[in-house]
Amino acid sequence: MNIENYKDVISACRFCFMCRHLATIGNVSFKESDTPRGRALIADKVLKDKQHLKNQDYIDCFYRAELSAASRKHCVSSLKLTFLVRAMREDIVDAGLEPEKVKKIAEALRQSGNPFGATEAGIKEKGTKGKPALLYYIDAYTLYKEPKIAESFMAILEKAGLEFSVLKEIESSGKAFSCMGYRKEAAAAAAKTLSAIRKTGCTTLVTSCPASFDAFKNDYQKQGAALDGIEILHSSQFIAELFKNKKLKAAGKTVKISYIDSDYLKNYNSITEAPRKALEAAGFELVEFGSNTEESYAMGEGSVVYDQVNPELLPKLKGRLLEKSNPGQEIVSASPYTKYAFNSTPGSTLKMRSLEEAIAGRIS
């Protein structure tokens, strides 16, 4: 079983309460099984008797996990609980026991390259002819749900006078597959996307999607699709450098704003400063969000397709986010998924903007 690779995590986490307050789903479901300790206890039980893998409650529990990695980020032992969850999902998939809704998402990815089964994208073709060094990769959530994010980032690139090409996620990057437990499909998708990236001749790859960034930066090498020789950046890092190198200039009065950290930028890759520097350079005064900087408010971003797998939990996640916000507070996210999940979930007139949209409206 794949979870056998994480016996150290199971052994330690099943007796530990220290990161319980960082259990994003546990904080809204109030179930012990939705805490790191609860999941480790279940994994321990499955490890001792494989028949428990068929328990539907256990399966549902592991697919409720949001994979924020907040617990791992602040764990004194840096235990990889999120990888244990993914390993359990792999065992569930290998046994053919994944929920029907997960199977449907996987089939949509196989057939259309995106979790929605969409075929029409509302983004106008942009970019430079030939093979410029800069490639902008547009993920599925941006392409099919939040095209303004891509349009805003491309407008920023044009304002900076940069040549670039665009690669749309027509084929899945593989991140959704890997997070749902489909190892083979994830590796196959990575190989296809790697080939498409190589054909562009780029030396710098930028994406607005933190999950895609993490896939390119960390997953692809393990899947035999390493992007050697290509610099991989999130759009916030790239924009921060444009301001630093005076390629962009802020315009307008200072405006207060709150930034919601991305799970994949902060908890998986320790990137917290670049988005803030980009926003500050654009003339925003940042007001820290929430009562602490450890919790995740990313609406389940770590599981990539959380809105598709657990739509019933989104109102609760949004409610918790709203509890931590100040009335009239403007909120910005560096994740297309988080923006879409928040804005498409009923419960408030408050709208979230993307980092790219916010900055595009602030440059001269």
Which has more confidence, 323 or 122? 323
Q: What are the backbone angles phi and psi of residue 167, rounded to the nearest 5°?
A: -125, 115
**pLDDT of amino acid 78:** 72
Task: Flag whether pLDDT at 14 surpasses 80.
Answer: yes
* Class at the top of the CATH hierarchy for domain 248-360: alpha beta
Distance CA(35)–CA(20), nearest Å, equals 6
**pLDDT of amino acid 350:** 87
Q: pTM higher than 0.85, yes or no?
A: yes
Task: Flag whether pLDDT at 88 surpasses 70.
Answer: yes
Q: How many helices (H) and strands (E) does the chain have?
A: 19, 8
Arithmetic mean of pLDDT, 168-188 = 91
* Amino acid letter for position 274: A
Res. 360 pLDDT band, cuts 50 70 90: very high
Q: What are the backbone angles phi and psi of residue 105, rounded to the nearest 5°?
A: -65, -45
% of the chain surpassing 90 pLDDT: 80
Res. 13 pLDDT band, cuts 50 70 90: confident
Distance CA(264)–CA(255), nearest Å, equals 26
The dihedral of CA 104, 106, 107, 112: what is its sign?
A: positive
| Average pLDDT value over all residues in the chain | 93
Distance CA(128)–CA(299), nearest Å, equals 35
* Amino acid letter for position 88: M
The pLDDT tens digits of the residues spanning 147-167 come to: 999 999 999 999 999 999 999
Cβ atoms within 10 Å of 96's Cβ, excluding its own: 7
**pLDDT of amino acid 183:** 95
Look up residue 171 and give its two tokens: 């084929």
Give the closest residue to 54 by CA, choosing from 26, 85, 88: 88
C-beta separation of 108 from 182 below 8 A:
no
Look up residue 294 and give its two tokens: 């450890």
**pLDDT of amino acid 292:** 78
**pLDDT of amino acid 127:** 67
Q: What are the backbone angles phi and psi of residue 75, rounded to the nearest 5°?
A: -80, 130
**pLDDT of amino acid 128:** 67
Candidates 3.10.590, 3.40.50, 3.90.550, 3.30.43; CATH matching 134-241 = 3.40.50
Give the closest residue to 26 by CA, choosing from 333, 316, 311: 316
Q: In the sheet where 331-333 sits, what is the strand order?
A: 284-286, 255-260, 331-333, 352-354
The pLDDT tens digits of the residues spanning 97-150 come to: 999 999 999 999 999 999 999 887 767 767 666 789 999 999 999 999 999 999
Arithmetic mean of pLDDT, 83-88 = 96
Distance CA(187)–CA(181), nearest Å, equals 12
**pLDDT of amino acid 244:** 96
**pLDDT of amino acid 328:** 74
**pLDDT of amino acid 125:** 67
Arithmetic mean of pLDDT, 5-12 = 92
The pLDDT tens digits of the residues spanning 211-239 come to: 999 999 999 999 999 999 999 999 999 99
Of the candidate ranges 7-21, 50-64, 303-317, the one whose mean pLDDT is the lowest: 7-21
Portions of the chain given CATH number 3.40.50: 134-241, 248-360
**pLDDT of amino acid 326:** 78
Which has more confidence, 72 or 175? 175
Arithmetic mean of pLDDT, 261-279 = 97
